[in-house]
Amino acid sequence: MKRILVTSAAVIGILALAACGQGDQGKATAPIEATPAQTAEAPPVPSAPVQAGSGDALVPGTEFNAVSTVPCALAAAQPMSQCEAGVIRNADGTAVVRVKWPDGRSRNLFFDRTGAVGADVSQADGPDAQGFKVEKVEDLYKIALGTKERYEVPEALIVGG
């Protein structure tokens, strides 16, 4: 029997996808398989994004507090390339980094005050995208989703500076 952790960040990401009209409508989304370290404490529920005037302004014409490009690879053994990314920072210290793929689809990566905690992976992504691993090297989060996807997200994008 597998143990599954549905984090509040994952639920928020699923709701965000539904609101944006992305994802498989009417189909259930499978949460990421949790490791024992992930089950120790669930991250806090993200609040509404910080709005201009409360400390972190939005990039004009977007819903993001900052935009950038991040190294990404979307297939096993593929060299890293650059993907557009935007971050929604929340007043409680949580954040969602939305990485836009070259084909127009996107992946949400969830962060809490301790670092990267999950992604919006579903069964439709297939077995090669299941699983979440993160390694922090200095100020860079190296994130792997299954055997296919890899992302490198700088901490400065998440926390601002």
132 forms beta bridges with 145
Phi, psi of 38 (to 5 degrees): -75, -25
Across the chain, mean pLDDT equals 75
- Does the global pTM surpass 0.75? no
Provide the pLDDT confidence category of residue 138 given band limits of 50, 70 and 90. very high
- Helices and strands: H and E segment counts in the chain: 3, 8
Measured in whole angstroms, the distance separating CA 42 from the mean position of its chain's CA atoms is: 16
For 101-125, write each residue's pLDDT tens digit: 989 999 999 999 999 999 999 888 8
Provide the pLDDT confidence category of residue 50 given band limits of 50, 70 and 90. very low
- With 90 as the cut, is the pLDDT of residue 74 above it? yes
Phi, psi of 105 (to 5 degrees): -75, 175
Q: Name the strand (E) or helix (H) holding 141.
A: strand 140-145
